Amino acid sequence: MAKRLTDTDKWKDEWYISLCNDDKIVWQWLLDNCSHAGVCKPSMTLLNMMCRVSYDEKVLLEKMSGRVIPFNNIWFIPKFIKFQYKTLFSQKPVIVSVVKELFNFYLIEMIPSSFGDDYKIISNSFNNHCQMIKDKDKDKDKDTKGGMGGKIKGVRFNENKTGVFFEDGSYQEFGAVQKQEADWAKPPHFIKGSTY
């Protein structure tokens, strides 16, 4: 059974107290049924049955006024992350797991910048880690890379998360160090075998 923090100040929040009782129950159901990263699999049938309402998805998203974001067949609740976790820059297993799920669902850019630096850091950890992956041919040419020391920036993982595409269009499979326990989701100073 998962235990989560609840906000007792919600009864002072204008948005929350303006909701009708059905909407309050639906909001609580969403918070209780999303993953630890704020991801909820849409199921209007289950939501309607459990909350004893009869909403369609369009009505639900209008009532939740941008607090529930539909994206790639999921619903994402960004505020859930900010409320549950003080930072996403940590090597605690739960935080690492949250970051991995955000990467897996391509939700990194959907975390509002208004959340502050402690939540932006996950974008930086993606970019920094990819800079750690060296292309052997590029290392020989390091003097021509303008201060990058032969390291180039990765822009996205392949579908199976076994390699990375770089900003120059090249591609590289991960070596044994990068494959260990999907460490790509951790900031560079937490990566096993990191040179930092």
Cα angle, residue 111 at apex, residues 13 and 99 outer, rounded to 5°: 115
pLDDT at 35 over 80: yes
State residue 160's pLDDT score: 75
- Alpha-carbon distance of 61 to 144, in angstroms, equals 51
Q: Does the global pTM surpass 0.75?
A: no
Range 100-121 average pLDDT: 78
DSSP state letter for 111: S
Report which of 62, 28, 63, 64 is spatially closest to residue 47, judged by C-alpha positions: 28
Q: Return mean pLDDT, the chain.
A: 74
pLDDT over 80 at 92, yes or no: yes
Distance CA 84, CA 92 (A): 14
Q: How far is CA 95 from the centre of its chain?
A: 10
Contacts of 139 (CB under 8 A, 6+ apart): 150
Q: What angle do CA 162, 165, 170 make, to 5 degrees?
A: 120
> For a pLDDT cut of 90, what percent of the chain falls above it?
29
In angstroms, what is the C-alpha Rg of the chain? Answer: 20
For 145-185, the pLDDT digits (tens) are: 444 445 567 777 777 777 777 777 777 776 644 444 444 44
Of 125 and 116, more confident = 116
